Amino acid sequence: MKFIRQLFLFSSSYLFFIFSSCTNPGSTTDKGNTAGPPKTEWVKLPGKRPMLLLTDRPINAETPLKYFLEDFTPNDVFFVRWHLANLPPSIDSVKFRLNITGNVDKELTLSLNDLRTKFKPCTVNALCICAGNGRGFFTPHVPGVQWDNGGMGNAKWTGVRLKDILDSAGVKTDSKYISFNGMDSPPLPATPDFVKSLVYDHAMDGEVMIAYEMNGQPIPYLNGYPLKLVVPGWYGTYWIGMLNEIKCYADTFKGYWMNTAYLIPKGELNGNEKPDSLKKQLIPINKIDVSSLFVSPEPDSTLRIGKEYEIQGLAFDGGDGITKVEISQDSGKTWSPAALDASLGNYSWRRWRYKFTPVQGGVFSFFLKATNSTGQTQPWHQWNRSGFMKNGIESLALKAE
């Protein structure tokens, strides 16, 4: 695969995606589990099956809920998230280089072949989730891309430990921050480039990695080909795609996407605050909070009286590990345990299952919460000004007749 060309055109610095609008190829309820913004525009992007389009410039598309019935999200329906509209029209895999500069003994320029042959490969199962996943459910409404629950995906990531690359460059021990930049670029000079950073100790923890494969295949173009920074347990805003620049700093890194955007209330569990009492102290978003969601049956499904059904879904956190998932049918007065599938790894999501047989007709409401190994669980209500880290208890209504 020496040269990757995509179906993209450039005109006056504008990026136009070639896609075909589609009718919903499946159920009309392939979206979130509670009332949210309707998503009626389905698109078939290059290399993808039909997905739900949220914005076309930059391109953002979410995974239909039904694909979460699979433990690992297929590459061709894995959600797409970009902040900047300009992507390179083609990437030459032979000429591509990853540059490591800054506070190091020797600056490095690595090819894809270097990464595959000169470093020990590693693989991790990890959830990548947009910080704004579920923003469309926030009440009061907040601005931003209005994701339902499809702004996430679980994958097997294969690549090289970031620590090994930084050690090869001789990163200096007085370094404080490491920054990461990709090949996407701002459409206007005033738009800040999308650059993220990690503190030195986190970057060197041996778990952060640079992936060149996703589910055993090259990373899809729209998911960040040829390299993607993988930060297990942290929100996807740090997972820089099309990664080609790493820089080490002996002092504090300052950038718009770290110091102004993607901030959450300091010291508040679940990033919580109230619309009439916004917090003054903010910090960069970081670790994934405990959360869970329903996957099947889909919202508003009709069940048959007397037939046993398996309700199932997913639970996840930032790496401590899900230990319990519970279901309530009486608005939280009592809770019953759901069965957990075997763990795919603490950074992966974990599937849960719950048997239910309707004995009479009517509407049944289910509520869901997960708990991790530290005892952290989900709140009944959660809100913040940016619509980040949504993890309030979800509900599912099913009708039996």
pLDDT in tens, 60-115: 999 999 999 999 999 999 999 999 999 999 999 999 999 999 999 999 999 999 99
Confidence band, pLDDT 50/70/90 cuts, at residue 152: very high
Q: Are residues 202 and 318 in contact, defined by beta-carbon separation less than 8 angstroms?
A: no
Confidence band, pLDDT 50/70/90 cuts, at residue 7: very low
Tokens 């970081």: give the residue: 286
When the candidates are 3.90.420.10, 3.30.499.10, 3.20.20.240, 2.60.120.470, the CATH number that belongs to 90-284 is 3.90.420.10
**Mean pLDDT of the region 296-318:** 95
Domain ranges of the chain: 3-81, 90-284, 291-400
pLDDT at residue 307 in the model: 97
**Mean pLDDT of the region 326-337:** 97
Specify the fold of 291-400.
Answer: Immunoglobulin-like (2.60.40)
**Mean pLDDT of the region 346-359:** 97
How far, in Å, are 6, 105, 208, 222 from residue 111 at the CA level?
A: 21, 19, 19, 20
pLDDT at 13 over 60: no
By mean pLDDT, which of 22-26, 187-191, 351-355 is the weakest? 22-26
Decide: pTM greater than 0.95. no
Confidence band, pLDDT 50/70/90 cuts, at residue 17: very low
pLDDT at 39 over 90: no
pLDDT at 239 over 80: yes
pLDDT at 57 over 70: yes
Q: What are phi and psi of 8, to 5 degrees?
A: -130, 150
Better pLDDT: 13 or 399: 399
pLDDT in tens, 242-276: 999 999 999 999 999 999 999 999 988 888 999 99
pLDDT in tens, 157-206: 999 999 999 999 999 999 999 999 999 999 999 999 999 999 999 999 99
What's the whole-number average pLDDT of the chain? 91
pLDDT-above-70 percentage for the chain = 90
Q: Which of 401, 308, 311, 313 is nearest to 363 (CA)?
A: 401
Q: Which of 212, 221, 219 is nearest to 46 (CA)?
A: 221
Q: Are residues 176 and 197 in contact, defined by beta-carbon separation less than 8 angstroms?
A: no
pLDDT at residue 112 in the model: 98
pLDDT at residue 26 in the model: 33
pLDDT at 29 over 70: no
Q: What are phi and psi of 42, to 5 degrees?
A: -100, 140
**CA end-to-end span of the chain:** 54
**Mean pLDDT of the region 288-308:** 94
DSSP-derived secondary structure for 371-401: EETTS----S----TT--S--PPEEEEEEE-
pLDDT at residue 41 in the model: 84
By mean pLDDT, which of 34-38, 104-108, 295-299 is the weakest? 34-38
Type of residue at 230: V
pLDDT at 46 over 70: yes
